[in-house]
Structure 1
Amino acid sequence: MTFRFRPLLAAGVAAFAMAALSSAHAQKKYDTGASDTEIKIGNLVPYSGPASAYGTVGRAAGAYFDKINAEGGINGRKIKYISLDDAYSPPRAVEQTRKLVEQEEVLLMFAPLGTASNLATQKYLNAKKVPQLFVSSGAHRWGDYKNFPWTMGWNVSYHAEGIIYAQHILANRPQAKVAILYQNDEFGKDMLRGFLEGMGDKAKTMVVTQVSYELTDPTVDSQMVSLKASGADTFINLSTPKFAAQAIRKAAEIGWKPTQYLANVSNQVTAVLKPAGLENATGIISAAYIRDPAEARWQNTKEYKDFVDFMKKYYPEGDPTNSLNVIGYSMAQTLEQVIKQAGNDLTRANIMKQAASLDMTLPMLYPGVNIKTGATDFYPIEKMQMIRFNGTGYDNLGSVLGM
């Protein structure tokens, strides 16, 4: 009796094995740009033009994909990274995006840089249902999952950063008289809205004046005189680097000594604080979400050493002290996790599903800052560490804040 059933048992095992194998093959799903061996990734950055300094973000990301490929790829598939120059020009961005989608047939657009360029391509990519994933811009609009379900940002949004400064002031300076300088564009207005939202009802009594400037203004000297005249004892400097440095220096020249808060985009020591005068910048408060590789306090950590080793091997011409390279490195690590989670379902819909299912940390994010997304949360990073400039570098100030 036992003997009689052996062929049936063997046949059953064989059938089960064949079914499992067939199922495994059936589970492989691909959209344009993906196969058993390769995943095509499109990218746009300004390698030329007025914002060419940001080109290193694209190069650092590409170097990380080289590292992935040298180590065997992701789930056995190599990354084909096609990074084109849009010269920071929206019309050029549209042209190059169409080339990547229609001619190169990429699976997704990864880390395209700049607010205006991405705004110019957002409707096209969403109509085509091509992921516009981890947009390299802090505009709040990149988290609008209802109207643009194929678009997701990566950087802390300017709106969230504004809320974080409000949280810190309410907790530490509840009697403050606040004066705000902001750039009259999407960057400045996003952060201003976030700050006022974070202040809530207190904004009516604590914010004594708001003054804007245009990108075409030669200086912000007159704005600073006006802000001082308001009697404010707390200055919120929502400016890009050139104007931020002017504002810090002018405050010192006119003898105004408020507690100063400085937007993250302008808290670089070399590019902003030195031109403003380090003595004038001492005590300035800002916020950070990545570890600045130029700061000595990180340079004995494993995370920093691993980053430097990566740069030496895969991007030797790049500057390991440039925080833009940390951004490219970290964004590529985030996409790596998305693709790992996607497994053998490399459809565009599943890529977005996995991007909206992240809960992770990255080595060069600030300790305590994480990446977390959800089906109704397209803002991967929403926490920042408050920091204060001590005359040479930054010290932590309190704990991580955010949503």
Structure 2
Amino acid sequence: MRNGIFQLATAMAVATALSASSAQAQKKYDTGATDTEIKIGQTVPFSGPASAYATIGKAQAAYIRMVNDQGGVNGRKINLIQYDDAYSPPKTVEQVRKLVESDEVLLTFQLIGTPPNAAVQKYLNDKKVPQLFAATGASRFTDPKNFPWTMGFNPNYQTEGRIYGRYILQNYPNAKVGIIYQNDDLGRDYLTGIKAGLGDKAASMISAETSYELSDPTIDSQIVKLKSLGADLVFDASTPKFAAQAIKKIADLGWKPVHILDINSVSVGAVMQPAGLQNSKGVISTIYGKDPADPTWKDDAGMKKYFAFMAKYFPEGDKDSLFNTYGYSTTQLLIEVLTRCGDNLTRENVMKQATSLKGVQLDLSLPGIVSSTSPTDYRVNKQLQMMRFNGERWESFGPLIEDTSAGG
């Protein structure tokens, strides 16, 4: 009897040891992940010419605080390390190297801006560190063949540009199009896209093109040039500071062209208000998320969750800002990916999970708009809807438009 009890106890001890060993064996970590922590790095323009985007980083940090208060991800708390790069590529290089080599993060998340992301793309890919959900839509950030460790979040700028081109053909077929664009990957991708959307009519419809540098103090002279060359429709591929300047200068000139603005500059607080709400009336753009200022969503379950989040975790933020809804949505998708990683928190598995999303519906996505990715199509957002500013808020119109091409 005593021997039987001893044998049973021994068997149980062995089984317990094997079970613990098996559970431990199933856990896989790369640098930046442990049983208790997931370390993530980010640069944000808290200062500099694109500081309007700073609130995105603040909203993302607030979302992480909420997740940690709720127990973290699979029992692990997230340590989000943020540095100010002032939207300066050399500064981004310095800070991202610090994140990877000193802070030893598992991944970078939502580095903000096209020039900053471009500056570190090769470095992160050489190091095989995920450049996850980069805050840019330039086509080079959804190029799995050449940059398998980089994945953008924003709608591809060429895709968006093509949609504007088709919209112009359908609604303003006789327009004289004037284009102003930021002279970097962002602006050039939009230029490529709108010309593709206009197709054979691009050469005859585009009456003027002008660009600006991020370091330029104003773009007043470029707007005057477009007017002087007879444009009656302006396509404006800008970041917030310059978009606000363009709207205001157009109004100051007493000029009334159709004004189409890219999705990066649709913040009411950062663009429309500084430019003048009345001056901004009639501006056209696109959207893929719910606008918190739109009463259509006041009883929406996802919007209620967002408002509750803002009230508790980011009360000083503007709850009606599309930059803050963007910060909320991007971080929600990050948490989805990390949750799917389970106990396999390797950089390779992070990319595997991020590139195998199927029909993910975020709280603030428009109905019918889902996030789907694959190893050959890194684009997270491929569906858009047109919208127009009514002098107070944006109003969506028309059907959802999906880009079904294989890439940018």
TM-score, normalised to structure 2, is 0.85
| Displacement of 1:307 | 1.0
What is the match of residue 340 of structure 2? 341
Work out the CA distance in 1 between the residues paired with 2:274 and 2:63. Answer: 33
Match of 1:137 in 2: 136
Shift of 1:83: 2.0
Aligned to 1:199: 198
Corresponding letter in the other structure for 1:62: A
Query: Is residue 381 of structure 1 aligned with residue 381 of structure 2?
Result: yes
Distance of 1:349 and 1:274 partners within structure 2? 43
Identify if the C-alpha distance between structure 1 residues 154 and 276 changes in structure 2 by more than 3 Å, giving closer, same or farther. same
Q: For the residues of structure 2 that align with 1:292 and 1:175, how far apart are their CA atoms?
A: 32
In the superposition, relative to structure 1, how do residues 274 and 36 fare at CA in structure 2: closer, same or farther (>3 Å)? Answer: closer
Whether the aligned pair in 2 keeps the contact of 1:358 and 1:372 (CA below 8 Å) is: yes
4+ residue segments displaced more than 6 Å = 11-21
Q: How does 1:98-247 map to 2 (within 5 A)?
A: 98-215=97-214, 220-228=219-227, 230-247=229-246
Please give the per-residue CA displacement for 1:39-86, whole angstroms capped at 9, x wherever unaligned: 111222233444444333222212212222222222222212222233
| Cα contact 2:179–2:235 (8 A) shared by 1 | yes
> 1:45-124 counterparts in 2 under 5 A?
45-124=44-123
Residue 368 in structure 1 maps to residue 368 in structure 2: yes
Instruction: Decide whether the 8 Å contact of 2:134 with 2:141 is kept in 1.
Output: yes
Closer, same or farther: CA 335–267 of 1 in aligned 2, 3 Å = closer
Q: Report the Cα distance in structure 1 between the residues aligned to 2:372 and 2:252, rounded to whole angstroms.
A: 43
Q: Matches of 2:252 and 2:313 in 1, distance apart?
A: 46
**What secondary structure sits across from 2:59 in the alignment?**
helix
Any conservation in 2 of the 1:163–1:402 contact (CA below 8 Å)? Answer: no
Aligned-pair CA distance for 1:333: 0.8
* Letter in structure 1 aligned against 2:55: T
- Displacement of 1:279 in angstroms is 4.3
* Alignment partner, residue 283 of structure 1: 282
Distance 1:239 1:121, change over 3 A: closer
Q: Which aligned pairs between 1:310-325 and structure 2 lie closer than 5 A?
A: 310-325=309-324
Query: Secondary structure of the equivalent of 2:305?
Result: helix
Return the alpha-carbon distance in structure 2 between the equivalents of residues 128 and 358 of structure 1.
24
Gapped runs of 5+ residues in structure 1? 1-10
Would you say the 8 A contact 1:32–1:106 is kept in 2?
yes
Decide whether the 8 Å contact of 2:236 with 2:261 is kept in 1.
yes
Compared with structure 1, are the counterparts of its residues 280 and 33 closer, same or farther at alpha carbon in structure 2 (3 Å cutoff)?
Answer: closer
The offset of 1:109, in angstroms, is 1.0
- SS of the residue 1:102 aligns to: helix
* Deviation of the 1:386 alpha carbon: 0.3
Instruction: Write the deviation string for residues 375-401 of structure 1: whole angstroms up to 9, x where unpaired.
Output: 111221122210112233222220122
- Structure 1, residues 136-191: CA drift from partner, whole Å, max 9, x if none? 22332211222211111112232222122113223333444433222333322221
Q: In 1, Cα distance between the equivalents of 2:108 and 2:12?
A: 44
* Alpha carbons 1:237, 1:244 under 8 Å: kept: yes
Deviation of the 1:267 alpha carbon: 3.1
Structure 1 position 18, deviation (Å): 8.0
Partner deviation per Cα, 1:8-44 (whole Å, 9 max, x = no partner) = xxx9999999877654443221111112222111222
CA offsets, 1:86-136, max 9 Å, x none? 333333322322222222221111112222322222222111111111112
Going from structure 1 to structure 2, the CA distance change for 1:206 and 1:17 (only over 3 Å counts) comes to: farther
Secondary structure of the residue that 1:41 maps to in structure 2? strand
Change (3 A) 1:116 1:278: closer
Residue type of the alignment partner of 2:341: A
- The amino acid across from 1:203 in the alignment is A
State the SS of the aligned residue for 1:371. coil
Distance in 2, Cα, partners of 1:118 & 1:250: 30
Equivalent residue pairs, number: 393
The match for 1:292 is: 291
Match of 1:259 in 2: 258
Partner of 2:6: none
User: Are 2:267 and 2:321, in contact at CA under 8 Å, matched by a contact in 1?
Assistant: no
Separation in structure 2 between the aligned mates of residue 379 and residue 287 of structure 1, nearest angstrom: 17
Shift in Å, 1:226: 4.4
Asked whether the 8 Å contact 2:49–2:241 carries over to 1, the reply is: no
CA displacement, residues 168-217 of structure 1 (integer Å, 9 cap, x when unaligned): 22333344443322233332222111111222223233333323344455
Name the counterpart of 1:7.
none
CA shift, 1:350, in A, is 0.8
AA aligned to 1:106 is V
8 Å contact from structure 1 (residues 361, 371) kept in 2:
yes
Taking the aligned partners of 1:274 and 1:158, their CA distance within structure 2 comes to 25
CA contact (8 A) 1:65 1:332 kept: yes
Distance verdict in 2 for CA 1:293–1:241, change over 3 Å = same
How much has 1:246 moved relative to structure 2?
4.3
TM-score, structure 1 as length reference:
0.86
Structure 2 segments unaligned to the other structure (5+ residues): 1-9, 404-408
Q: CA deviation at 1:254?
A: 5.1
Matched-pair contact (CA < 8 Å) for 1:32–1:105: yes
Task: Find the aligned partners of 1:259 and 1:49 in 2 and give their Cα distance.
Answer: 30
**Preserved contact between residue 267 and residue 323 of structure 2 (Cα < 8 Å):** no
Residue 248 of structure 1: how far off its partner (Å): 3.7
